[in-house]
């Protein structure tokens, strides 16, 4: 099923939004964590992974999407945050919470993250349909973000840019950030052209993000 960018009219767009609402109204449950490549669960349902710099608002966004406060954090044992967490959504899709990258020592962190289990996962996952790459709307794109996009290009993993914390920037700044993100998307062969603008605080863009993800889900069992 195609997503919002392909919707021909308002009715098709509304149908996609409704499909997203219905999917995310279903239960979503943590079922697996992996710290090593050998611990990755066998590929099954379609997967959509979330990545971004530490503190970008990834946990908040996953919780807002699923309407389950604490879901993205509950599964993370303190001190073991560099793991990949897998959530089953209504037996139609798996959401994958990837470790945050590049907070303090960008290049070293990137090296460690992307050479390890995360890179193995991204390169070798046949059922990974899209990576949602989160960028903080309030701050400029960092070198770690650009490196992540280059690696996703190199690994030929389709990704979509999602701006977070849109509630916390003025309209002019937000407009500039959207334009910048769209330019980045045009420059990267693996990038989806539609940039999503979200806020976990206000719920802005959450229905649209649900719709994009629902378009990738396996059909509901009859």
Beta carbon nearer to ligand GDP, 21 or 73: 73
CB of 109 to ligand GDP, least distance (A): 13
Q: What are phi and psi of 145, to 5 degrees?
A: -65, -45
| Pairing verdict, β 93-97 and 47-52 | parallel
CB of 56 to ligand GDP, least distance (A): 4
CB of 165 to ligand GDP, least distance (A): 4
The end-to-end CA distance of the chain, in Å, is 17
Reduced to 3 states (helix: H, G, I; strand: E, B; else coil), residue 89 is strand
Report yes or no: 45 and 88 within 8 Å, Cβ to Cβ.
yes
CB of 108 to ligand GDP, least distance (A): 18
Beta carbon nearer to ligand GDP, 19 or 87: 87
Task: Tokens for 122, please give them.
Answer: 């991204």
Distances (CA, A) of 77 to 37, 52, 63, 74: 18, 19, 17, 8
Beta carbon nearer to ligand GDP, 69 or 108: 69
Residue in the structure block whose two tokens are 């994958």: 96
Beta carbon nearer to ligand GDP, 55 or 143: 55
Per CB under 6 A, residues contacting ligand GDP are 52, 54-60, 100, 164-165, 167-168, 199-201
């Amino acid at each position: 099923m195609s997503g919002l960018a392909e919707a021909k009219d308002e009715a098709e767009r509304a149908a996609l939004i409704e499909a997203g609402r219905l999917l995310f109204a279903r239960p979503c449950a943590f079922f697996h964590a992996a710290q090593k490549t050998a611990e990755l669960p066998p590929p099954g349902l379609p997967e959509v992974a979330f990545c971004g710099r530490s503190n970008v608002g990834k946990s908040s966004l996953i919780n807002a999407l699923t309407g389950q406060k604490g879901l993205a954090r509950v599964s993370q044992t303190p001190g073991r945050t560099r793991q990949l967490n897998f959530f089953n959504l209504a037996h139609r899709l798996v959401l994958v919470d990837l470790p945050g990258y590049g907070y303090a020592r960008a290049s070293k962190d990137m090296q460690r993250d992307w050479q390890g289990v995360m890179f193995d996962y991204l390169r070798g996952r046949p059922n990974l349909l899209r990576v949602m790459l989160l960028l903080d709307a309030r701050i400029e794109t960092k070198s770690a973000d650009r490196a992540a996009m280059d690696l996703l290009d190199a690994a030929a993993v389709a990704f979509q840019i999602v701006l977070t914390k849109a509630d916390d920037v003025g309209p002019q700044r937000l407009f500039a950030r959207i334009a910048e993100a769209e330019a980045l998307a045009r420059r990267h062969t693996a990038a989806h052209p539609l940039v999503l603008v979200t806020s976990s605080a206000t719920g802005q863009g959450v229905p649209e993000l649900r719709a994009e993800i629902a378009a990738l889900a396996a059909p509901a069992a009859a």
